[in-house]
Amino acid sequence: MFRICVYTFVSKFTVMQLTIQTHTSPLVDEFAEKMATLNLIAYASDAATQMEFDSLEELHESVKRAMELCMSAEIPIKGNFHRVYKSSADGIVYDWKLSLLAYRLVCLSGKPSNPSVARLIIQLIKNEHLNHF
């Protein structure tokens, strides 16, 4: 990974700009990547099972909406969502490892016509802690 820092110095007679590039080792990059995935504790497929999603399409759309929510709120995708590959009877399939926040957002982002999703949303709204927003 390269990091570029640009410093600008202004004096009475001149403007000088200094650019510094630093490079981290692949080992440091790998360590940082592993640290970012420590809080990924659940799979999106587990959320689909819990919320009784009716198809893979509903799951994929829920993950997409959850990511859009994070981006809109300026919450980083990295550290909350990580695509992984799993083997199954159908071959290699992809899933998502999720942080607790991402897991909950995926659960809430299912189809409103899904009774489990509707009940969860209504339960959250009824919760007295959310009545103060």
* DSSP-derived secondary structure letter, 40: -
Contacts of 123 (CB under 8 A, 6+ apart): none
Strand pairing class (42-43; 81-88): unpaired
C-alpha distances in angstroms, 127 versus 7, 101, 120, 121, 132? 50, 18, 11, 10, 10
pLDDT in tens, 27-36: 877 777 777 6
Query: Would you state the pLDDT for residue 132?
Result: 64
Spans of the chain, pLDDT less than 70: 1-23, 36, 128-133
**Cα separation, 93 vs 4, whole angstroms:** 38
Look up the pTM and report it: 0.71
Query: Would you state the pLDDT for residue 89?
Result: 87
Note the maximum CA span of the chain.
72
